[in-house]
Amino acid sequence: MFEMATKVHDERRQGEAFAPNIPDSKEYKRRFYIESYGCSMNFSDSEIVASILSDEGFGATRHLQEADLILVNTCSIREKAEQTVRKRLTEFRKLKHQKPSLLVGVLGCMAERLKSKFLEEEKLVDLVVGPDAYRSLPGLILGADDGQKGVNVLLSREETYADISPVRLNSNGITAYVSIMRGCNNMCSFCVVPFTRGRERSRDPESIIKECRDLFNAGYKEVTLLGQNVDSYYWTGALPSKEGKIDAQFLPPLTLLTGENNPQPLLMQDAGNNSDTLISEVSAWLSSPTGGDGTSGAKLGMGAITFASLLEMVALISPQLRIRFSTSHPKDITDDVLFTMAKYDNICKYIHLPLQSGSNRILQLMNRSYTREWYMAKVDRIREIMPGCGISADIIAGFCTETEEDHQDTLRVMEYSEYDLSYMFFYSERPGTLAQRRYEDDIPEEIKKRRLQQIVELQNKLSQQSNKEDVGKTFTVLIEGDSKKSDKHWMGRTSHNKVIVFPKDTHLLVPGSYVDIKVNDCTQATLLGEIA
Ligand code: SAM
Ligand code: SF4
């Protein structure tokens, strides 16, 4: 099977070895080493794993040789991602020979997909743990110490790790991920995620706000709210019944909600635009056994806490805290979300809106539940409500039965949408997916390769064009650290998610400072500027 990605989610971080940047004075019994692959969610999960292990007396190390436990948090999204992990595992074999007590564990999507088969296929592996089973790691490690190989790949309808404070690994101290939901119910036909990460479930908003607030108090200036489909975030305080219905008595109060009968967001004016009032109202409602004072949302004709209301609650923590989110599904992103973004300066004006294909026939085969026309109307709506909003996409070249005309349709939607950035992939057939069961992976490698190349070339042109349009403009930039190429330059990001590099002209700035930068030049990937 042939596969190539020109740009996967944060390519620079694939296989990153994790450990906290701040020196840790605690005494640990043993050390663990963890590498992460795949999407931001996996990187975020590794921080939860670190927290669980730290409570058990394990300290993180960046050095393989120091480790008593090696963990690989894996990705199954494309075949190439799995091959990379397999290759990496063979490299651990020598270490295990040198230190027989060393344990090796495989976490994440590949563990979930292959289950105990992994232990048969990769003899050096001691632990196989799926994304919903990290709480069982300490028990499994104890068993493995006694020579018992351990597998836990149970998927959960409830697990959100809401009560676990992640240990921030490899953090710049300025930006952090906060997971708001897990799993996915969408069943896009090409995608393995619903099988490896289970049913969609949203995390308690109170714990999300608390985590964001704690990060802000610790000096962080930007949080990215994470989920496979953040726009379907939905919290009622009660778990849906088997039929997916929610008991009306658990619905929350008026001020917290976007109502079914009220298509405009309530935007929390009733809470006095004050995060504390709002949060205490959420807390009061959440802690009461029937969900508040009896004034149930059902009686008021209201819905639950939606992504728009959650965004607003996080925005109200402080105007100095920037908020981003990923990923939006075009079918689910609502006007409520767009209006909430427009209302708050600290919600970054950037939306990742995966396209996958610009052909209606292919979109239908992919089970994406939108058409090219719907998608383009969404792009128009974003630009209407937030002129200048950055938009990026995911695109798959060479899905089953894709014709030249389908491919041209994709290029046309790209031209129309004028993406600032795209993550572009060859279709890679994944075992067990709907596409693998229903359709033949019939596009020859060289055609997939050529089409992907055309997509990449067009995106390069669009990125260059988009950056050129920013020359002469001034943006508020959050400084993240030194530029990669020179410690005489700062690197930061604009609200619309463009990387900007500028000289360190003054000593007053530090990572985490906001500064207005005028763009005076650009490359295809970066804006170059100076302090305005
Ligand atoms: N939930 C997100 C969404 O729907 O946009 C993205 C999830 S997935 C981790 C990231 C991207 O990987 C997808 O948007 C898709 O473009 C790509 N992808 C998923 N399955 C793939 C496959 N079988 N072959 C190639 N690319 C794939
Ligand atoms: Fe996969 Fe589709 Fe869910 Fe994204 S929305 S994780 S592509 S099934």
DSSP 2: -
What band does 29 get if pLDDT is binned at 50, 70 and 90? confident
Task: Give me ligand 1 centre to Cα 427, in Å.
Answer: 9
Over the chain, what is the mean pLDDT? 87
Question: For residue 327, which atom of ligand 1 is closest to its CA?
Answer: 2
Q: Quick one: pLDDT at residue 26?
A: 73
Torsion sign (Cα): 438, 407, 326, 337: negative
Contact by Cβ (8 Å): 125, 100: no
For residues 527 and 532, give the distance between their C-alpha atoms in angstroms, rounded to a whole number.
14
Q: In whole angstroms, what is the distance from residue 505 CA to residue 516 CA?
A: 13
In this prediction, residue 280 carries a pLDDT of 56
166-170, 311-315, 481-485: range with lowest mean pLDDT: 166-170
CB 302 within 8 A of CB 252: yes
What is the C-alpha to C-alpha distance for residues 503 and 346, in angstroms, rounded to an integer?
A: 25
State yes or no: pLDDT of 347 exceeds 90: yes
- Determine the pLDDT at residue 228: 94
CB of 193 within 6 A of ligand 2: the answer is yes
Nearest C-alpha to atom 1 of ligand 2 is from which residue?
191
User: What DSSP string describes 148-175?
Assistant: --EEE----SS---TT--PPP-S--SSE
Residue 335: CB atoms within 10 A of its CB come to 13
pLDDT tens, residue by residue, 276-329 = 555 555 555 444 433 333 333 332 334 589 999 999 999 999 999 999 999 999
Q: What pLDDT does 255 receive?
A: 36
Q: Is 278 in the pocket of ligand 2 (CB under 6 A)?
A: no
Helix or strand run (H / E) with residue 529: strand 527-531
The pTM assigned to this predicted structure is: 0.87
| Rounded Cα distance, 55 and 203, in Å | 22
Confidence at residue 247, expressed as pLDDT on a 0 to 100 scale: 42
pLDDT at 267: 30
Say yes or no to pLDDT of 263 above 60.
no
pLDDT at 170: 78
Q: What's the rounded Cα separation, in Å, for the pair 507 and 504?
A: 7
DSSP 345: T
Q: Token pair 């050390």 is at which residue? A: 31
Say yes or no: CB of residue 226 within 6 Å of ligand 2: no
Compute the distance from residue 191 Cα to the ligand 1 centre, in Å.
6
Bond from prior residue into 403 cis (ω within 30 degrees of 0)? no
Helix axes 40-55, 137-145, angle to 10 degrees: 60
Please, are residues 212 and 166 in contact by the beta-carbon 8 Å criterion? no
With vertex at residue 492, the alpha carbon angle to CA 487 and CA 497, rounded to the nearest 5 degrees, is: 150
Contacts 24+ apart (CB under 8 A), 526-529: 526/467, 526/498, 526/499, 526/500, 526/501, 527/467, 527/470, 527/471, 527/475, 527/494, 527/498, 527/499, 527/500, 527/501, 528/500, 528/501, 528/502, 529/475, 529/477, 529/500, 529/501, 529/502
Share of the chain above pLDDT 70, in %: 83
Reply yes or no on whether the pLDDT at 252 is more than 50. Answer: no
Is 188 touching ligand 2 by the criterion CB < 6 Å?
A: yes
Residue with tokens 């296989």: 15
Helix (H) or strand (E) holding 55: helix 40-55
Helical H segments across 386-432, by residue range:
404-417
Ligand 2 mean position, distance from CA 39 (Å): 12
Residues 423 and 44: their CA atoms lie apart, in Å, by 20
Question: Which of 391, 425, 428 is the pocket-test mutation for ligand 1 (most atoms within 8 Å of CB)?
Answer: 425
Percentage with pLDDT > 90 across the chain: 78
**Do 195 and 108 contact (CB within 8 A), yes or no?**
no
Q: CB–CB of 498/504 below 8 Å?
A: no
Could you tell me which residues come within 8 angstroms of residue 398 by beta carbon, excluding any fewer than 6 positions away? 426, 427, 443, 447, 448, 451, 452
pLDDT at 1 (0 to 100): 32
Nearest ligand to the CA of 369 is 2
Length of the chain (residues)? 532
| pLDDT given for residue 17 in this prediction | 66
- pLDDT category of residue 269 using cuts at 50, 70 and 90: very low
Least confident of 144-148, 207-211, 285-289, 329-333: 285-289
Average pLDDT over residues 64-79: 95
Task: Evaluate whether 493 touches 477 at the Cβ level (below 8 Å).
Answer: yes
Rounded distance from Cα 192 to ligand 1 centre (Å): 9
pLDDT, position 146: 95
pLDDT at 438: 97
* pLDDT confidence of residue 284: 54
Query: How confident is the model over 1-28, as pLDDT tens digits?
Result: 333 333 334 555 676 766 665 566 677 8
User: 474 exposed, middle or buried (CB, 10 Å; 0-12, 13-18, 19+)?
Assistant: middle
Bridge partners of 71, per DSSP, are 34, 105
Q: Which atom of ligand 2 is nearest to the CA of 327?
A: 4
Answer whether 236's CB lies under 8 Å from 493's CB: no
pLDDT value at residue 327? 94
- The span from the CA of 17 to the CA of 35, in Å, is 5
Cα angle 161-338-458, degrees, rounded to a multiple of 5: 95
Cβ-contact 116, 128 below 8 angstroms: yes
Provide the pLDDT confidence category of residue 47 given band limits of 50, 70 and 90.
very high
pLDDT, one tens digit per residue, over 491-507 is 999 999 999 999 998 77
Partnered with residue 151 across adjacent β-strands are 128
Q: Which two tokens stand for residue 116?
A: 């105990």
CA distance 225 to 454: 32
Q: Ligand 2 within 6 A of 232 CB?
A: no
Q: Is the CB of 229 under 6 A from ligand 2?
A: yes
In Å, how far from its chain's centre is CA 183?
Answer: 11
- Which of 41, 43, 293, 287 has its CA nearest to residue 179? 41
Q: Return the amino acid letter for 325.
A: F
Q: Are the C-beta atoms of 107 and 72 separated by less than 8 Å?
A: yes
Say which ligand is closest to the CA of 399.
1
Judged against a pLDDT cut of 50, whether residue 84 lies above it is answered with yes
Nearest ligand, CA of residue 423?
1
pLDDT, one tens digit per residue, over 358-390 is: 999 999 999 999 999 999 999 999 999 999 999
Helix (H, G, I), strand (E, B) or coil at 219: coil
Closest CA to 413 of 462, 448, 468, 351: 462
- Nearest ligand to the CA atom of 455: 1
Residue labelled with tokens 């007590």 = 101
Ligand 1 centre to CA of 435 (Å) is 13
